[in-house]
Amino acid sequence: MFCFQCEQTAKNEGCTKQGVCGKTDDVAELQDLLIYAVKGLSLIAHEGRKAGIQEEAVNRFTSEAHFSTLTNVNFDRERFFRFINECVQLRDALKEKVKAKVKAKGGKVDFDHDAANFTPAETVEGMIEQGRKVGVLIPKDLNEDIRSLRELLTYGLKGIAAYADHARILGKSNPEVDTFMHKALAATLDDNLGADEYVGLVMECGQVNYKTMELLDAANTGAYGDPVPTKVPLGVKKGKAIIISGHDLLDLEQLLQQTEGKGIDIYTHGEMLPTHGYPKLKEKYSHFYGHFGTAWQNQKKEFDNIPAAILMTTNCIQRPAKTYQDRIFTTGLVGFPDMPHIPGTGKGKDFTPVIEKALELPGFPADEEKGHVMVGFGHKTVLSLADKVVGAVKNKDIRHFFLVGGCDGAKPGRNYYTEFVSKLPKDCVILTLACGKFRFFDMDLGDIGGIPRLLDVGQCNDAYSAIRIATALADAFNCGVNDLPLSMILSWYEQKACAILLTLLSLGIRDIRLGPSLPAFITPNILNVLVEKFNIMPISTPDEDLKAILG
Ligand code: SF4
Ligand code: SF3
């Protein structure tokens, strides 16, 4: 295996025997084969569109399959076996339709790339061997910068796939997004493209991701209302409980509906925290109680012997410890071998096994007070404070805004973000989002004239909201985003963060500080291009960075 798609990749070079994330060699090879198969399907889908054929089943599958290979989503080899077979069935059926349509118009189309033609092996072991021949390092003699750009594009597309899948689950899709996914995935197979063409596609990937996040924002707020400032308890209440993790709002809603009146409290975990701010979730269900634990990499410690059931939706899942493996469930695209899975997509899921498990377990023995945090500062809420914010800046009550956000992870270097926030002068406001916030989410940072100094914009899925806030501030001050007293200090881990970073770059945002380390898949030449164009830089120390920004 060879995988270097995430920030914790071994030696910041690549995982070769087993993933630091726990991904095994066999699953890595199956994921490589699936990505290869999806690229083959995309080649045909891209040609099909030119001939007037486009199929929702293919669009949906492309997002689902690509998303399932994102870090910490699915570790189940059986699931990849089924995905690969489904992909090839869709591919071959579409190929016949496209060929027939082109022929009927008097033309001819050949799909001679192996990705569009290979026959999958009949066994998992056979597919693993096929995967070894199509991984990231194949072909060996490929120019390193081209490989780097192809992978950057593939990972950006994983982010788009995730956001598109979330939006589609809530009934929203955008043909422009599906069209780009197929075009770009097909382009990663094209040996005629050079660095300039790939750089163009990478920037387009950022633009399309913006549209995808906009779509997801409309899907979330359309279904559940605009988030409002909401106080979320961090302790526990005596009684039975289910903890739900991940990013999927519809799973949460269905769980809330199915547990109503059953004497079970629902707690969020990880990236589910901001869902407390949605009026149609928080106000409707009195048993939607509080938030449990912190970021994904602490789950083993925090779930240890937990007297409650756990439901994992989307990323990030880790191999469970023995002390809770009998009470953890997956759903959606998440999978782990031998872990019970709640089937279905979107509406109509049946969470009975999770509910029965929660009822069987003792529940929390007593109330435990641990304070609270505030969530719900999406763009609508923050922009409703715009006049106040602009006034505070003009009065010099607010000196600078910092967007400190992104993914969390296990590396010691991530303490930078905790230290950075704690060292910020009192006249600075911090916008945050995604699971990186758990480094400082419970710090009491006070307010500036009624404006909280720490504003939780939401999940990584809500990066759109943060961009809307930045562009609205720029409009209010009649300047560009780069001229605002705003600095972006980002942390990355998985591929959604890559997509968001590409969006920021495609919007022309400069001077982003990125950490805890730079992506292993970016070659020095590609990094130079990004530095020259966008002055993107690695984080250094909190003191040095603060000095450089604030003077
Ligand atoms: Fe390694 Fe990250 Fe790939 Fe897992 S996802 S195998 S940790 S690079
Ligand atoms: Fe976190 Fe996995 Fe990226 Fe949604 S939950 S931000 S890492």
Residue 51 near residue 104, CB atoms below 8 Å:
no
* Structure tokens, 487: 């600095």
Which residue is it, tokens 């969390």?
A: 408
Q: What is the pLDDT at residue 412? A: 86
Average pLDDT over residues 280-307: 97
Pocket of ligand 2 (CB under 6 A): 72, 247, 270-271, 296, 315-316, 407, 434-435, 459-460, 493-494, 496-497
pLDDT at 356: 98
Q: Mean of the per-residue pLDDT values for the chain?
A: 97
What pLDDT digit, counting tens, does each position of 445-454 carry?
Answer: 999 999 999 9
Distance CA 544, CA 70 (A): 34
Q: Are strands 454-458 and 428-433 parallel, antiparallel or unpaired?
A: parallel
| Distance separating alpha carbons of residues 452 and 486, to the nearest angstrom | 16
Do the beta carbons of residue 490 and residue 514 sit within 8 Å? yes
- At residue 140, what are phi and psi to the nearest 5 degrees? -60, -35
Nearest to 465 by CA among 376, 394, 389: 376
Report the separation in Å between the CA atom of 141 and the middle of ligand 2, taken as the mean of its atom positions. 34
Rounded mean pLDDT of 108-124?
97
32 contacts 38 by C-beta, under 8 angstroms: no
Cβ(233)–Cβ(291) under 8 Å? yes
For the domain made up of 10-223, give the CATH fold: Substrate Binding Domain Of Dnak; Chain:A; Domain 2 (1.20.1270)
Domains 10-223 and 230-360 share a fold: no
Please write the tens of the pLDDT for every residue from 370-415: 999 999 999 999 999 999 999 999 999 999 999 999 999 998 899 9
> CATH: 3.40.50.300, 3.90.550.10, 3.40.50.12160, 3.40.50.2030. Which one for 379-550?
3.40.50.2030
Band of residue 189 on the pLDDT scale cut at 50, 70, 90? very high
Q: Is the per-residue pLDDT at 124 higher than 90? A: yes
pLDDT in tens, 368-377: 999 999 999 9
DSSP character at residue 185: H
Ligand nearest to the CA of 298: 2
Q: What pLDDT score was predicted for residue 199? A: 97
Question: What pLDDT score was predicted for residue 455?
Answer: 98
Domain 230-360 has CATH 3.30.565.10: no
**pLDDT mean over 475-490:** 97
As a whole number, mean pLDDT of residues 76-104 equals: 98
* Average pLDDT rounded to a whole number, residues 19-45: 98
- Ligand closest to the CA atom of residue 406: 2
Q: Where do the structural domains in the chain lie, given as residue ranges?
A: 10-223, 230-360, 379-550
Cβ 5 under 6 angstroms from ligand 1: yes
CB 14 within 8 A of CB 4: yes
Phi, psi of 426 (to 5 degrees): -70, -10
Give strand ranges (E) for 153-223. none
For residue 69 and ligand 1, the question of a CB distance below 6 A is answered with no
Give the atom of ligand 1 at the shortest distance from the alpha carbon of 28.
6
Residues present in the chain in total:
551
Spacing, Cα 496 to ligand 2 middle (Å): 8
Mean pLDDT for 64-77 is: 98
Atom of ligand 1 nearest to the CA of 1: 6
pLDDT above 90 covers what percent of the chain?
A: 99
> DSSP letter at 364?
B
User: What does the pLDDT average to over 212-224?
Assistant: 98
